[in-house]
Chain A
C-alpha cells in the first residue's frame, strides 16, 4: 500500500460495529431473558415450561403444520412455474418474470385484504375453514418468494447435461428426477427457507383471515404485551434454534443467492 491513511478493510468497521450492536447484542439480551426469571435469577423454568405446556407445544405443532403445508403448496405450484419460465424462449420473458415478482412490492397486508374479500365472496363464512384459509393466505403471500430463487437456479442450469442424460438413454422423467431436480436443489432450498420460517410466524395473515388460533409469532406478541419478556424471549430463542438447525442443515447446498435477497434483482 502506498498510502497508510486509506485501507479498504477499514471501510467495513461501521457495518461491523452496527452488526455487533444491533444484531449480536439483541441476541445476547434474548438469551439472558430466556434463562432468567422476573427477578433476574438464572432459571431453566422457561425452557421446561415451554416443552411441558400442551399449549406452547401445541402452538409449535400448529405453526409447523401451517409452515409445512404452505411450503409444500408453494413448491408444488411454484416449481413448475420456475421451470417453465426458465426453459421457455418467450419474447417478453423478463416482463413475465417481473409479473411474478411484482406482488412483493405491494405490502402483504393490502394483498391479504384483497384476498379476504375474494375468499368471503367464495366461501360466504370464513370461520368454517380457518386452517384452509390460512394456507391459502400464506401461499398467496409467499409464492413469489418461492418462485424467484428456483427460477434463478434453473436459469443457470446447463442444458447440455440434460441432453447428455437423454443421449445416454434416460427417460424424460428420470432426466427430470435425477438431473434437473438435484441441480436445482440450491434454488429449492432457498425458496423453502424463504417460505417456511415466515409462515411459522406471520400471524397477521391469520388475524386478517379470522383465524383466532395463535401461532409462534402471535405467542411472542402476547407475552410481550403481558410484560413477560422472559417467556417471550424463550419462544424467540426456540424459533432461533429451529432456524439455526434449518440453516445448518441446508448450508450444504451452496445457496449463492440467499433467499429473498440475491435472487430478487439479479
Chain B
C-alpha cells in the first residue's frame, strides 16, 4: 500500500516536470503555431531547424562554447584542486575561499562583475569572445575543483610513495598513479561544466558578442519576437535535446546492467562518443562564418529575408515583377560584384532596441552601417560618432544613386529641416523606414472611438487585455498624451497658428514635474495592462490574448496581414490627441568606416541598393513598414505597389485617398491618389501611409538632455519596481511573527 502511494507521488511529480516538455514535443510535429489547436502532422519545424542558418549557427556556437569552456575549466579546476591539496594551508584556504565565491554567487552578479571588469574597466572587445569564455570558465571551474577534491582525499597516498620507492620519478608517478585515481572526479567535473554552460543565460547575456547567440539568449530574443516559424522551430529544438538526453540516460541504464567492473569504462566511452559527436556538430556549424567586410546592424525582422513562394510574386501594373528569393543582403553581395566589380561580404546582425544598439556601440562592438531611430541618430551626431555621407551620394545625376533620386520629398524636407548643431540630419543619415504610433485593436471588442485616444490604456473595460511597449520612450509618450489630453484637444490649442510646433514642444516636455506626473499615472496604468511587450503583442492580438496593443504603424500592418490570414480582422487607430512621428535611418559609424574609402563606397551602395524601387517593395511587403522612398520621377513602382495592395475590387465601395504629399510634395497631385476600398480606411492603407491630416498632429520625439534622460530612466525603474509601501499590514505582521518564531526556535535549541 505504502509502495503504491510513493509510486503515485513520484509519478505525479515526474508528470508535472515533463508535461510541458511533452506537450511542446507533440505540437512540434504539427503545423499549428499555437498550443490548443491541431491542424495536421508535419515535420516542417525540424526542417527549419536544419535549414535555417541562424539556428544552426546558434546551436553550433552553444555546443562549441560549452565544450571549449568545459575543457578549459576542467584543466584549470583539476590542476587547481591538486595544487591546493598538496599546497600549504594558507594557499589551500585561499583557493578554497575564492573558489566558493562563484559557486554561491548569483549568476547575474558574476556576469555583471566580469563585464564591468573586462569591458568597462579594461575596455575589452566582446567580439574577441574572451569575456564570454572567461565568464563560462568562472561559472564551471569551481565545480570541477569541487568534484576533484574529494577524490584526492579518498586517494591512497601510499601508492604514490610506493611508485617513488620503486624508482619512478615524481612526474611519472604523478601521471601514472595520481591522475588515474582521481580521473572519475575529473570526468564528472567535465560533464558538470558542460551542463552549467548549457544552462547559462545570465553570464552570456552580459559578456557575449552581439553577433553571437547561445540557445538561451536566442530563445529569450525569439520569445519577444513574433516570427512563428522560429518559435515553433524552437519547440522542435527542445524536443531534440530532450530525446538526446533520454537516449544518454537509456544507454547508461543498459550499461549499468552489464558487469559492474566494465560499467565505468563503458560509461566513459559513452561520454567520450557523445562529446565528440556534439563537438563535431558544433565545429561544423561554426565554419559557416564568412570573412567580414561590411558589418551591418539593423532592427530585428527589418529587411526582406527572401524565401518567398512563387505564388507570392508581385506583378505590378507597370510591368514590374517582384519576388524575393534570397535575403536582401545576400542579393546585395551579388549586385555589388556585378555593378562595382568588387567582392563584398555583408555581416548582417540585428538589435532589439535603440538602447541595445547604443550599448553595443559603447561596449566595444564595431559596425560600419547601422539603422537607429531619429533620436538615436541625433545622439550619435551629437557625440560625433558618425561619418557623413559623401557628396557623390547625393548626386542625383548619377544613375546608381537610388536614394538621392528616390527619397520622398516629404522625408527629404524633414531630414533637411531637423538639425543638430546646425548640421541637418541628412548629412549623416539616409531614411529607411518611417511611421507613426497608435493603437492596434480588435473591432469585435473595442470601438474605433475607444481606441482613438491614449486614454484607452486607462480604460477599465480592457483590464489586462491591452499592452504598452517595454520601452521607456514610447510608453512615456503615450502617458504624456493622456496627461495632456485636455490641452491637446482644446479648440484654442488646435487653432494656434503655431499648432504643429506647439505639439512637438508639449510632447517633448521633460520637466521634472511632468515626469513625476507621468510616473504617478503610469503606476496606475500598470495595474490595467496585460504586459509590457516589444514584439510579442502582434501574435497575442491574433490569438486574442489581448484586444488592444500600443503599436508602431509598420508592425500594425504586419499584424493586420497576419490576422487576415487567420480570419481575424484587426484595425489601427491613431489617437486624436497627437501621435509620434518617427524615422529609422542608415548612418555610417566613424569607428567602423574610418578612412576606408572602399568600405564607405560599399556602405553607401548598400543604402542605395535597399532604396531601389523593387527592393523597397520587397522590404515593404516582407516587413509591413513604410519606406522613405517614393521612387524617382518616371518610376512609379512604389506607388503601383500601393495600388496593387489597396485598390478596390469592382463591386466595392471606394474612397479616394490622396498621397501626393508623400510622393510628389503636393497633396492635390492627381497622379498620386489611391482609389482604395472603403474598408481599407483604418486598416493597412492608413497605417502604412497616414493621411496628411494625421501627419499634422504628429510630433518627433527629440533626444533628451542627460539629466532629463536620467530622470526618465529613474521614473521607469520606479514604475517597474515593487513599492515597499504597497505591502499590506497583515504581511508585515505575519513576517515579523515568522522572524520572531525563528528566533524563538533558535533560543530554545540553545537552552537544550
Contact = CB atoms under 8 A, between A and B. Distances in A.
Interface of A: 1-3, 6-16, 18-20, 22-27, 29-30, 33, 54-59, 61-62, 77, 80-81, 84-85, 88, 92, 94-96, 98-100, 102-111, 113-118, 120-121, 125-128, 140, 143-144, 193, 197-198, 200-204, 207-208, 210, 212-214, 216-227, 229, 232-233, 236, 239-240, 243, 246-247, 256, 258-262, 264-266
B23 A117 contact: yes
B355 A225 contact: yes
Nearest to A244: B104
A233 B120 CA distance: 12
Question: Sorted from nearest, which 6 A-B pairs have the closest CB atoms?
Answer: A12-B83, A15-B80, A26-B113, A114-B20, A55-B721, A62-B722
B303 interface: no
Given A207-B220, A217-B106, A239-B106, A12 B545 contact: no
Contacts of B727: 58, 61
Nearest to A61: B724
B256 A94 contact: yes
Given A15-B77, A19-B98, A114 B83 contact: no
Interface of B: 3, 6, 9-10, 13-14, 16-21, 23-24, 27, 35-36, 76-77, 79-88, 91, 94-95, 98-110, 112-117, 120-121, 134, 137-138, 141-143, 145-147, 150, 164, 169-171, 174, 178, 188, 191-192, 195-196, 198-199, 201-202, 206, 215-216, 219-220, 223, 234-235, 237-238, 241-242, 245-246, 249-250, 252-253, 256, 355-356, 359, 362, 464-465, 470, 526, 529-532, 545, 710, 713, 716-718, 720-727
Contacts of A12: 79-84, 87, 91, 95
Nearest to B105: A243
A52 to B, nearest CB: 11
Contacts of B145: 15
Contacts of A9: 83-84, 86-88, 91
Contact of B464 (A125, A198, A266): A125
Given A197-B104, A219-B721, A109 B201 contact: yes
B675 to A, nearest CB: 42
Nearest to A250: B104
B147 A261 contact: yes
A118 B35 contact: yes
Nearest to A247: B104
A85 B237 CA distance: 30
A59 B21 contact: no
A125 B545 contact: yes
Given A106-B242, A256-B150, 6 more contacts: A22-B114, A23-B102, A29-B117, A98-B253, A110-B237, A212-B470
A14 B191 CA distance: 21
Contacts of A143: 13, 17
B104 A259 contact: yes
A265 B191 contact: yes
A113 B223 contact: yes
Contacts of A198: 106-107
Contacts of A232: 112
A100 B104 contact: no
A77 B13 contact: yes
A20 B98 contact: yes
B591 to A, nearest CB: 18
Contacts of B241: 105-107, 110
Contact of B94 (A16, A29, A224): A16
A259 B84 CA distance: 21
Question: Interface of chain B, helix or strand or loop or mixed?
Answer: helix
Given A105-B195, A110-B241, A113-B238, A127 B531 contact: yes
A214 B195 contact: no
Contacts of A118: 19-20, 23, 35
A220 B722 contact: no
15 contacts: A9-B87, A9-B91, A15-B79, A23-B98, A26-B114, A29-B116, A77-B13, A95-B250, A95-B253, A105-B241, A107-B201, A201-B107, A212-B531, A265-B188, A266-B188
A2 B170 CA distance: 7
Contacts of A114: 20-21, 23-24, 235, 238
Nearest to A84: B6
A42 B242 CA distance: 51
Contacts of A127: 464, 529-531
B643 to A, nearest CB: 41
Contacts of A30: 109, 112-113, 116
A240 B109 contact: yes
B459 to A, nearest CB: 15
Contact of A102 (B80, B85, B146, B245): B245
Given A2-B170, A77-B13, A222 B720 contact: yes
A64 to B, nearest CB: 10
Contacts of B234: 110, 113
A49 B113 CA distance: 21
A145 B43 CA distance: 34
Contacts of A16: 80, 83, 91, 94-95, 98
A243 B713 CA distance: 28
Contacts of B164: 2
Nearest to A261: B143
Given A77-B13, A265-B191, A57 B88 contact: no
Contacts of B18: 103
Nearest to B131: A22
B720 A214 contact: yes
Contact of B220 (A6, A96, A204, A259): A204
A117 B314 CA distance: 36
Contacts of A92: 253
Contacts of B6: 84, 88
Contacts of A243: 104-106
Nearest to A136: B16
A212 B218 CA distance: 20
Which among B137, B202, B710, B722 has the greatest number of chain A C-beta atoms within 10 A?
B722
Contacts of B169: 2-3, 6
A125 B199 contact: no
A144 B195 CA distance: 13
A49 to B, nearest CB: 11
A8 B86 contact: yes
A15 B95 contact: yes
B721 A102 contact: no
B251 to A, nearest CB: 11
Which one of A29, A80, A111, A114 has the greatest number of beta carbons of chain B within 10 Å? A114
B748 to A, nearest CB: 14
Nearest to B200: A107
Nearest to B77: A15
A100 B79 contact: no
A220 B720 CA distance: 13
Nearest to A77: B13
Contacts of B252: 94, 98
A33 B120 CA distance: 11
B359 A225 contact: yes
A90 B398 CA distance: 81
A118 B34 CA distance: 11
A201 B137 contact: no
Contacts of A100: 13-14, 17
Contact of B253 (A14, A94, A110, A204): A94
A2 B246 CA distance: 50
Given A9-B88, A117-B23, A256-B150, A95 B249 contact: yes
B171 to A, nearest CB: 5
A59 B83 contact: no
A142 to B, nearest CB: 11
B102 A18 contact: no
A223 B141 CA distance: 29
Nearest to B27: A117
A179 to B, nearest CB: 16
Given A12-B80, A55-B721, A266-B188, A33 B116 contact: yes
B208 to A, nearest CB: 14
A61 B356 CA distance: 29
